[in-house]
């Protein structure tokens, strides 16, 4: 029964990894799906302590992603309005990238973050150079934040697989 739970967990966890670059808290999805393994193993494999550890890692991943997005944009001189543009642009870009699953979403989310920050910063300040810098800050913050979240998500998956096997 624990193997069935592991298979279901892996399907949901991979989905959680895929949605991370879209701005969806995939690490929370991954941590939440560990409950399936806990239930199917009678809480022998995934204990409450491990479950709390996984949720703790997921929350840390989300906070790191948020901080990197803000500091990445800020370090390149972005204003608050360009950060809003980066967020909205990332969502629109990810949606427009849907025809090319995964790769299209990733590229769309990252390019959209750049364009959203660039456009709003340029429009509100009238300074195209500052807009370009803000766009690059948003882009790099988004990429690094997503990489950190994926790494922590993969670490949760690996811990669960080793606990079951």
Q: Which segments of the chain does DSSP mark as H helices, in order?
A: 2-19, 26-40, 48-75, 80-96, 103-125, 128-164
pLDDT per residue over 31-85, tens digit each?
Answer: 999 999 999 999 998 999 999 999 999 999 988 887 887 777 778 888 888 888 8
Q: How many domains does the chain have?
A: 1
Q: Whole-model pTM?
A: 0.80
* Host domain of residue 26: 2-164
The DSSP letter of residue 22 is: G
What CA–CA distance (Å, rounded) separates 117 from 11? Answer: 34
Highest mean pLDDT of the ranges 76-80, 81-85, 93-97, 147-151: 147-151
d(CA 37, CA 45): 7
Which string of DSSP letters, residue by residue, matches 63-99? HHHHHHHHHHHHHTT--HHHHHHHHHHHHHHHHHTTT
């Amino acid at each position: 029964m624990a193997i069935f739970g592991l298979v279901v967990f892996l399907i949901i966890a991979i989905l959680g990894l895929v949605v991370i670059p879209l701005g969806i808290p995939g690490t929370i999805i991954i941590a939440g799906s560990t409950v399936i393994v806990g239930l199917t193993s009678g809480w022998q494999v995934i204990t409450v302590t491990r479950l709390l550890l996984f949720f703790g890692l997921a929350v840390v991943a989300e906070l790191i992603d948020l901080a990197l997005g803000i500091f990445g944009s800020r370090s390149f001189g972005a204003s608050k309005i360009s950060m809003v543009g980066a967020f909205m642009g990332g969502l629109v870009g990810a949606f427009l990238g849907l025809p090319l699953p995964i790769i299209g979403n990733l590229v769309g989310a990252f390019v959209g973050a750049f364009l959203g920050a660039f456009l709003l910063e340029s429009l509100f300040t009238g300074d195209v150079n500052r807009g370009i810098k803000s766009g690059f800050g948003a882009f790099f913050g988004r990429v690094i934040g997503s990489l950190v979240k994926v790494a922590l998500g993969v670490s949760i998956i690996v811990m669960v697989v080793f606990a079951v096997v």
